A and B are shown apart, each in its own frame.
Chain A
C-alpha cells in the first residue's frame, strides 16, 4: 500500500453546502467538474479526476428537485451525495475521493432508481484521510445514512408498482416484481427492524404473526396469494397451509396492498427525518446481523416459503452486509496491522460468497428458485456464509477499538 500523501490545508475559504462530514472544504489543488442535471439526465463534465478533494458544480436545469449521488464500485454504497438541488440552482459540492472506480448518478424528485448512471474513475495516489477517528466515524455514519435513504427511495416506487399489480389481479406481473421489490428492503433490514413495529407489518412470515397474535400483513401475506399453496400444502411450522387462511378477496387484496405501501412510506419518512441517525456500532453490527438473517431464514428456505425467491433475499442481505462493512472498513483498517488483516480476511470471504451467489443469478434476470437448489448446494452456500461471518463478527470490536 503506498504511503498516504498528506495534503496541506490551505486557508479557510467558504464553500457552500458541504453535505457530508468527510468533505474537506479547502482544496486548492483538487479538480473542479460540472454536473448538468435535468429531469432525465445527469452528465458529469469529465469521467475521470485525480484523487483528493473534488468539487462538483451541480446545475439543475430540470423542473423539480434533484439529487446528485456518487456510488462506490459496487453501485450500492454511497460515498457522496448532494440532496435538494432545486430547479435553476447551481451549487458546489466537494467530496474527497480515493483512487478507484465510482459511479455518478442523479435521482429526479429524490426517489426511484438512479438516473444517468456513469462510471467515474479517480486516478493517482491515495490521499490522507481525515486524521482522527471521530471524523472517520462521522463520514461512515453519513455515508450509511445516505445509503439507507437511497434504498428506501427505490423501495417505495417498486412497492407501489408491485402492490398495484397485486391489487388489480395482475398476478404474473406482481410475481415477477416480488423479489426485486423486496431486495431494497432486505438490504437495509436491520435499520427497518430498529423501528420496532414496522418490520412485523412489512416482513413477518405467517408463522411469526400467528404466534405473536398479530394481524398478518405485508410482503409475505401477498406472497401466499400470489403463490397459493396446494390443497395438502404445509406451512414452515408443520401446520396445514390452509389453517386459518384463505385466498384474499379483491377487497382484502386492496387493503393488503394499501397497507404495505403505507408501511413502506412510513419507513421512507422515518429514515428521511432530519433526526434519523445510526451509531457506528449499529452499522458494523448490522453487517453480522444481516448474515444471521441469512443463516436463520434464507439458507433453510423458510423466508420465502411460497415463492422460493429466497436467494434474492439472500443476495440482498449479503449486499447490505457488504455495504455496512464498506462504510466502516477504513476505520477498521486504521487500527494497525490486525485491523488491516481483518479487513483483508473479510474482503476475501465476501468475494468468495458474492462469486458463489452470482452463479445462481442476479436481480435483473432472477435467481434460481430455492426449491431447485440441492442440499449439497445449500451446504456450499452455508459454508461460505460461515466462513465470512466468523471474521465479520470481529468487526465491531475492531472498529470500536478507538479508545484502546
Chain B
C-alpha cells in the first residue's frame, strides 16, 4: 500500500512524498493514484525546494529543521512564533493497519512540508482534479516549521472501542488522564484526543497549512477533534532567544529549560529502561497541553504591585523581586524588613520552581491565544500551555504545587490533554514505527 520512501538527503533533491494511495484518495484523480505519488515533480516543489535550501543563511523565514532524527523536532527546537495545535480521534471502525498507514502518510507529508515543499503532487497540476496540496503555503519558505506527533491514552485503550489497535500492552504506565487540579473548569470538547499534532512555524500561514493538509489526509480515518491557534510564543527554549511576554504582560519562561543546558535532555527525553513495557518510547517524551483562560479584564484592574507580588518578578525587566536582573536566580529565602519573604510564599515563580518541587522541571513551549470573545463580551484570551517532560509526574508535581498560586484568581484551565510523543522517525521510517514493530 505504502510507497517506500527512500533515503533522501535533506538538502539535495526534493523528497519523495510517500503518501499512501488512500491518503491521497480524493486528493488525487483516480487514474493518477499510486503512479503520481512520489514523483516529486511540479512547479510548486521547484519553488519550495529553492527556499528550503537557503535555511543556512540564518534568516528565520527560510530556516528549516529536519523532520527525521533521533528525537522529533518541535521540542528542543528554538520556539517558533506561531502555533497550530490539533487533536484527532480515530474513526469508529479504524483498524491497526489504518492507524499505521495514517502515521506513514502523515510522516511523509510532514517531511515535505518541513522542507517548505508542498505535499503529494503539489498545489498545482492537472486542471481536471483538485491539487494534492491546498496551496496557501505555495510561495512561503519553510519558516522553521516543525510538526510533532503524539499518542493519547485513548489510542491504547478506548472507553468504547477498547484495545482496537492491539497496543494496550505497550501503553506507557504513566500515560493516563491527568488528575483534577485546582482551577480546572475543563470543557471536554477542548481536551483529549487519540492523536495530537503540534505544528509550529514563524509564519502563521505555514503552521495552519500544515494542520489543514494533515487533517485532509486523515479524513475518513481520523476526524479532527479540536484545534488551537497560538500567536506569540511565551517561552524560550534557547539562550539565544529573548524572553517573550504572556498576555498578563510579564516575561514568561525566564527559567525554562534551555536546549543548551546539558541537563535538559535528561529532563525531557524518555530514557531506555524508564518503562520496560513501553521501550518503544525511548527517545520520546510526554506532551501536556492546557488551554489556560486568563481573566484579563480582572487582571488589568489589579494594582501593579499586586501583579508583581503574584508573579514574584518585576514587570519591566522580569527580575525576581529578590533583586538583580532577569536572569538572576531568585532568592526565595530573602526576607524583607517586615519579616515577610520578599518573594511571597504563594508567588507563581516560587511554587513553579524546581527548588519547590524536588527538582522537577518541565520544558515549556506555550503560546498566547485570543479566540475572539465569549458570550459575556470578554476576550477569550490566555495561554495555550504546552510542556514536554520525561515523565508526566514532573508536570503533575508542579501543577499540584500551583494549587495555592496567587495567580489562580485570574486564570482557569479550560482544556487539557496528555500524549506520549514517540521518538523521531528515521529516514525511510515513520513516526511511531517503534510502537508497531
Binding site for B on A (CB under 8 A): 207-208, 210-213, 236-239, 285, 288, 292, 295-296, 299-300, 302, 375, 378-379, 382-383, 386, 389-390, 392-393, 396-397
Contacts and interface: CB of A to CB of B under 8 A. Distances in A.
Given A211-B180, A211-B181, A397-B303, A292 B298 contact: yes
A296 B182 contact: no
30 contacts: A207-B180, A210-B180, A211-B180, A211-B181, A211-B182, A211-B183, A211-B184, A212-B182, A237-B184, A237-B185, A238-B184, A238-B185, A238-B186, A239-B180, A239-B186, A285-B303, A292-B298, A292-B409, A295-B295, A295-B297, A295-B298, A296-B412, A300-B376, A302-B185, A379-B376, A382-B378, A386-B297, A389-B301, A393-B302, A396-B303
Contacts of A239: 180, 186
B378 to A, nearest CB: 7
Nearest to B183: A211
B93 to A, nearest CB: 27
B125 interface: no
B173 interface: no
Contact of B186 (A208, A237, A375, A379): A237
Nearest to A382: B376
Interface string B279-298: 00000000000000001011
Contacts, number: 66
B180 A237 contact: yes
B429 to A, nearest CB: 38
B159 interface: no
Contacts of A397: 303
Contacts of B297: 295, 386, 389
B187 interface: yes
Interface in B150-190: 180-188
B187 A238 contact: yes
B284 to A, nearest CB: 28
B377 interface: yes
Nearest to B303: A396
Contacts of B404: 212
Contacts of A375: 375-376
A161 to B, nearest CB: 32
Interface string B398-425: 0000011000011010000000000000
Nearest to A295: B298
B301 A288 contact: yes
A374 B180 CA distance: 30
Contacts of A302: 185
A342 to B, nearest CB: 14
Contacts of A210: 180
Contacts of A392: 301
Interface string B24-50: 000000000000000000000000000
**Which of A210, A292, A397 has the most B CB atoms < 10 Å from its CB?**
A292
B409 A296 contact: yes
B182 A208 contact: yes
B2 to A, nearest CB: 39
Contacts of A379: 375-377
Contact of B188 (A207, A208, A238, A382): A238
Contacts of A393: 301-303
Nearest to A375: B375
